[in-house]
Chain A
């Protein structure tokens, strides 16, 4: 396997052995004393962060990554407590210290916090207090650790805001967090973390809550800053694409333990631990799109730390588990080449055989040919014509009418029976509003939503009222994003899943129970659980219930609004597989709304891209991803992190991540303010481009689509072949 090692040369080289690691965590145990017993959130993690390098800590949620990171700065809230282990910080002015031995919230640890180790969190908006301006919070950090006057601190603060790429820093300095976007807030958090020039930056899922374009910009920013000031990073994420893009070293965590350590190349090319292999296998990849293979999901889910299995924590979900060994003893760490280590009995136990058998290739042979499905035959199930939804924005203390937002403007699209139309775009582009207008969860301001009835007649859903509309509520169903808040906690599974039937008088009594049981079986939930309440289920199981509730009325069209974005990688793979199996089984038509391009690419036959309320490109998935016709589509594709460390993008032309004010959309093409190709000769800033045919079944709304050749997906992940 030969790869052009350009930018990666320096990373693969081992640093001088003499240099002590910046941070050494040695068998750290952090536990929570709860009413139900002790929860071992971090259970013996050892890892090192070396100066100037980036360590990515990866694993599903519930693996103790965040608690481990917080333990470094003693930020674990009671009842959490570090019970044993050491965290050596080898940078302190007073020489190496063990931060676990320092007095909590004492002067010494506070001197390290923010000064020597900076930290960035997952939810940028919530991590800033809404009561103070961002400038006040930034200068607070500067004044805490640096001997400067408030005026100097303000100047340093403005410089920092410039450095992290915030436009008009003087003006933004006095803005409140809720006046900025999530991406901007995360930049502010980074500015705060960097304000005292720390030697280590701990970033806890810093881009998880952000859009893909914003994520790309933040990752670029972090890489730039690191190159500039030589700090080390501990970067916590569950996204292997991000790992591939940013890591030098990787630690894989599972159930509070580190199961594998290695450089990013070692982890991606020769993953040793079955868990690492399974994580890599569950990724939807942007690749040859004519064949769709089911994702190799990891079965089950991360058990709650209280129900930790004996022996190797992973054996309950492991295909390579050795009976009588893995479920009894904890595996020791086995060393491989160049510091690569993994804790698995397959390498250390005499019966292990020294390797992990790769999953049977049959999984990939399953690939369904969908080249023929793109042109699904038959008249469209749904035709949306010139749909517009506008909101009047008013309120605040002064109750003024502030203006009108066109959440959806003049959108037309068609969905043919049996196909999946993917709808992508950044948050705030109107994709959810469009989906909800079609499902009549919101009323469109104008336009038609033509639904084809079984007898072939078209009905305009947008004009239906009362009983007629209720009838169609069983035919067009919605799967919601948040599996936690979309299920009523006071209803049992039977009531939740059966509600659409009961509400529409479609079934009652034992027929209803039978139908619910049948549906539950289809989505992979045991019917015995029918009398349970939603809190007894995990996120993935709740999403299955959500799907069951959507499908129980045997709808023709299902609108899936970000159905997997709240789920972990491995669970996401299970749900995506389930959705596509059900589509084949029940002949469903999907409108699949997502901001995650790799997921959309994986499930969709055709894709529509939305920006500022309009569809700016629509076409078959492979054509659109392979040869995008709109610069915005290209920008989106460009921003997707590819889970291949050898294909690190050099994004020189990334679009700015600031969306225009939706109340004052720019004249002409709404994208021209962020477009690298916009120029006045083509009227980009004056004339609104119409959606025009560029290729067979492929439309784009760009003045320059005919004279631009845009790059699609060229970076693909090589799947290690069985050897």
Chain B
């Protein structure tokens, strides 16, 4: 087991190296660089353009005159040897500091979303399979499709409107204005919870709907397996039997989803974050890509890739723990 985990962690190294190269190349692909974008911005704003001297100074400072592989090496070696992700051009601050502000919230939201998805989809999925074609099954199916089909930012807008219209509270951001800069306290924590559920519900709807469908389909297959009849034939109670045997097998997809739900929210859905005014890494990445802020963009993508790989490892280990066939067969 330990050997396996070590192996998997070792495989991480070449994987991440390859990903870092690819992200760096992708970032460099659009014509021009940060400075040309910056100049275009300045002239659009009518502030005139930078002097040639200034341009030269900035080019040298950012190392933009060097060949791509040198730029890459400077970036990656600083990360590896000094834990330094470089400076963001746009924000003029270290990337590390920017991420430190945003990453914890993003991860918190991801984990909460995952838990929300599980907590909602598990009972509904089991119910839908056990009472196939019942009114409840159809109702959940209907809402599930609705959740899958409606874009997240639209749900966000609707929820914000409902909340403002009927409850009189603004749900944008994570804190009400009065708590935004206040020190941590119980009321502030309560305020956080009051805001947190909105993004969790919004991000969770699609995942919940998908999970319900998968669990329902899997469980329907499992419920017809001979071992269920065999367990009934030895006198087991139906409810206990269902949880103990078929549901346990049908739960596999729950664990396989860890792999993609964790990193999924880091890069994706910048729009919803923008709408809800959340300080997650999504909008950060979007800005960075638009401005060709290569160190920031590269670092966010790299961390996202790291989370994909780690998330996959976690789901594999969880699957092996859950399912002896994965653990022992062949």
Contact = CB atoms under 8 A, between A and B. Distances in A.
A625 interface: no
Contacts of B224: 77
B230 A189 contact: yes
Contact of A144 (B234, B324, B326): B234
A396 B238 contact: no
B226 A127 contact: yes
A129 B325 contact: no
A145 interface: yes
Nearest 6 pairs of A and B residues by beta carbon? A114-B234, A114-B235, A113-B235, A119-B233, A127-B230, A395-B330
A157 to B, nearest CB: 13
A189 B231 CA distance: 11
Given A126-B225, A128-B227, A176-B324, A140 B330 contact: no
Nearest to B234: A114
A126 B4 contact: no
Interface centre among B233, B237, B238, B245 (most CB of A within 10 A): B233
Nearest to B249: A131
Contact of A105 (B232, B234, B324, B328): B232
B235 A126 contact: no
B329 interface: yes
A75 to B, nearest CB: 6
Contact of B328 (A127, A128, A176): A176
Interface string A374-411: 00000000000000000001111110001000000000
Contacts of B234: 113-114, 118-119, 140-141, 144, 192-193, 195
Interface residues of A, number: 42
B93 interface: no
Contact of A131 (B3, B236, B323, B330): B323
B37 interface: no
A147 to B, nearest CB: 14
Contacts of A488: none
Contacts, number: 94
A178 interface: yes
Contacts of B180: none
A115 interface: yes
A113 B234 CA distance: 5
Contacts of B323: 130-131
Contacts of A223: none
A436 interface: no
B57 interface: no
Interface in B203-240: 224-227, 229-238
Nearest to A74: B232
B226 A126 contact: yes
A140 B233 CA distance: 12
B155 interface: no
Given A110-B237, A114-B234, A396 B329 contact: yes
A242 interface: no
B230 A128 contact: yes
Interface in B238-266: 238, 245, 248-249
Given A131-B323, A395-B330, A397-B320, A73 B233 contact: yes
6 contacts: A110-B235, A113-B233, A114-B234, A119-B233, A144-B235, A192-B230
Interface residues on B, range: 20 to 34
Interface of A: 70, 73, 75, 77, 105, 110-115, 118-119, 121-123, 126-132, 137, 140-141, 144-145, 176, 178-179, 189, 192-193, 195, 393-398, 402
B236 A140 contact: yes
B289 to A, nearest CB: 38
B280 to A, nearest CB: 35
Given A128-B227, A176-B324, A396-B330, A113 B232 contact: yes
Given A113-B233, A179-B328, A105 B226 contact: no
Contacts of B3: 398
Contacts of B226: 121-123, 126-127
A395 B226 CA distance: 28
B330 A393 contact: yes
A402 B226 CA distance: 31
Contacts of B225: 126
A399 to B, nearest CB: 8
A130 B250 CA distance: 12
A129 B231 contact: yes
A127 B238 contact: no
A131 B233 contact: no
Given A105-B238, A110-B237, A131 B232 contact: no
B229 A121 contact: yes
A145 B235 contact: yes
B329 A178 contact: yes
Nearest to A111: B235
A612 B157 CA distance: 68
Nearest to B322: A131
A121 B231 CA distance: 11
Given A110-B236, A145-B235, A127 B227 contact: yes
B4 A398 contact: yes
Nearest to A126: B226
Interface string B306-330: 0000000000000010011111111
A112 B245 CA distance: 21
Contacts of B229: 70, 75, 77, 121, 127
A187 to B, nearest CB: 14
Contacts of A121: 226, 229-230, 233
A301 B227 CA distance: 30
A144 B240 CA distance: 12
Contacts of B233: 73, 75, 113-114, 118-119, 121
A624 B225 CA distance: 42
Nearest to B236: A144
A312 B244 CA distance: 46
Given A113-B235, A145-B235, A397 B327 contact: yes
B232 A75 contact: yes
B246 to A, nearest CB: 8
Contacts of A123: 226
Interface string B3-21: 1100000000000000000
Interface centre among B232, B235, B328 (most CB of A within 10 A): B235
A129 B245 contact: yes
A70 B226 CA distance: 12
Contacts of B227: 126-129
Contacts of B320: 397
A176 B237 CA distance: 23
Contacts of A111: 235
Nearest to A398: B4
Given A397-B320, A398-B4, A119 B235 contact: no
Contacts of A193: 234
A129 B224 CA distance: 12
Nearest to A141: B234
Contacts of A113: 232-235
Contacts of A110: 235-237
Nearest to B224: A77
B141 to A, nearest CB: 19
A118 B225 CA distance: 19
A178 B235 CA distance: 23
Given A395-B330, A397-B320, 9 more contacts: A75-B232, A77-B229, A113-B235, A121-B230, A130-B249, A131-B324, A144-B235, A176-B328, A396-B328
